[in-house]
């Protein structure tokens, strides 16, 4: 029990308070768990279930649907090489082969030192900059095999700013207390918002 650190537990409660129903916070909390430990353990899912008021099986159900949630440890840097059409037309296949050779693991595998996981990924919304890849969901554009080698060298050094796997946005949304409108379960809201001035406001 007590998977979340004290600070993250506080943040989890702040997130839950933003949704009309706590269960909506499930994916954000799974991301928070992955940010804390790099992957999502059963302990994490049990605690999330308690926080949002559902069963751990329900949390597993949601967690297992989404590709970004890893239920076993992965490398410190997850390298996603896009293999969809635009990248494939411009050398994604060769890039993947090169990556597998350079790191000595097949797509889906993690290097023995736990540094890198390579994955064949689907379209990353950078199609004009093909072939592209992401390191922990941060893009690298028009990557040649040589550039791939420099990316690996860069990540193996300490001189880079890519956070460890699990960290997505390094900026958290902060809503000042005096500006937060707040929310309520939908069944508790029966009237139009005040600026709609009920009469004549229904289209």
Partner 1 sequence: MTGIGGTPIPHAPGFVANDTPRIVTARFDYEDSYTLERYEATGGYQGLRKALQQTPEEVHSEVRDATLLGRGGAGFPAGVKWGFCPPGVWPRYLVVNGDESEPGTYKDRLLMELDPHQLIEGCLIACYAVGLSQCFLYVRGEMAVAQERVAKALNDAYSAGYIGKNILDTEFSVDIILHWGAGAYVVGEETALIESLEGNRGMPRLKPPYFPAAVGLYGQPTIVNNVETLSNLPWILEHGAEAFTAIGTESSPGTRMVAVSGHVQRPGVYEIVNGTTTFRDLLYSEEMCGGIRNENQLKAFVPGGGSAPWFTPAQLDLPFEGSQIGPEGSMLGSGAIIVMDETTDIPAAALTLTKFYAHESCGKCVPCREGGPWLEQILRRIVDGLGTPRDLDLLFEVGETICPGDFPHAAVPSRGIEAVPFPYRMTTICFVGPSAFAPIHSALTLFREEFEEKVAGNKNRTMIEVAVDV
Which residues ranging from 97 to 116 are in contact with partner 1 (CB under 8 A)? none
Residue 30 binds partner 1 (CB under 8 A)? yes
In the structure encoding, which two tokens stand for residue 7, read together?
A: 């600070």
CB-based burial label for 101 (10 Å; 0-12, 13-18, 19+): exposed
Residue 201 binds partner 1 (CB under 8 A)? yes
- Is the Cβ of residue 104 or residue 196 nearer to partner 1 in the bound state? 196
- Is the Cβ of residue 113 or residue 188 nearer to partner 1 in the bound state? 188
Rounded Cα distance, 58 and 93, in Å: 37
Residue 200 binds partner 1 (CB under 8 A)? yes
- Is the Cβ of residue 72 or residue 179 nearer to partner 1 in the bound state? 179
Output phi, psi for 136, to 5 deg. Answer: 45, 45
Q: List the one residue from 9, 14, 28, 73 that touches partner 1 (CB under 8 A).
A: 28
Per the CB < 8 A criterion, the answer to whether 115 and 65 are in contact is: no
Instruction: State in angstroms the smallest separation of the CB of 98 from partner 1.
Output: 18
Instruction: State in angstroms the smallest separation of the CB of 55 from partner 1.
Output: 12
Nearest CA to 119 out of 101, 102, 133, 138 is that of 133
Task: Report the greatest alpha carbon distance in the chain.
Answer: 69
Q: List the one residue from 50, 100, 129, 154 that touches partner 1 (CB under 8 A).
A: 129
Q: List the one residue from 3, 4, 69, 116 that touches partner 1 (CB under 8 A).
A: 69
- What is the 8-class DSSP label of residue 158? S
Per the CB < 8 A criterion, the answer to whether 131 and 89 are in contact is: no
Residue 137 binds partner 1 (CB under 8 A)? yes
Per the CB < 8 A criterion, the answer to whether 133 and 100 are in contact is: no
- Is the Cβ of residue 103 or residue 166 nearer to partner 1 in the bound state? 166
Residue 47 binds partner 1 (CB under 8 A)? no
- Is the Cβ of residue 17 or residue 104 nearer to partner 1 in the bound state? 17
Rounded Cα distance, 37 and 133, in Å: 23
Identify residues 140-199 at the interface with partner 1 (CB under 8 A). Answer: 141, 161-163, 167-176, 178-183, 186, 189-196
């Amino acid at each position: 029990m007590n998977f979340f650190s004290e600070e993250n537990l506080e943040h989890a409660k702040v997130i839950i308070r933003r949704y009309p129903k706590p269960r909506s916070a499930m994916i954000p909390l799974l991301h928070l768990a992955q940010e804390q430990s790099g992957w999502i353990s059963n302990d994490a899912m049990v605690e999330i279930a308690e926080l949002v008021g559902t069963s751990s099986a329900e949390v597993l159900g949601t967690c297992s649907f989404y590709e970004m949630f890893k239920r076993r440890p992965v490398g410190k840097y997850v390298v996603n090489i896009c293999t969809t059409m635009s990248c494939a037309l411009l050398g994604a296949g060769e890039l993947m082969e090169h990556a597998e050779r350079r790191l000595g693991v097949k797509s889906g595998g993690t290097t023995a030192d736990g540094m890198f996981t390579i994955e064949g990924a689907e379209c990353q919304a950078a199609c004009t900059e093909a072939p592209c890849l992401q390191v922990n969901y941060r893009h690298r554009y028009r990557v040649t095999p040589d550039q791939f080698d420099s990316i690996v060298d860069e990540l193996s050094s300490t001189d880079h700013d890519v956070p460890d796997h699990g960290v997505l946005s390094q900026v958290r949304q902060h809503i000042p207390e005096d500006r937060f409108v707040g929310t309520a379960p939908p069944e508790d809201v029966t009237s139009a918002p005040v600026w709609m001035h009920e009469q004549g406001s229904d289209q």
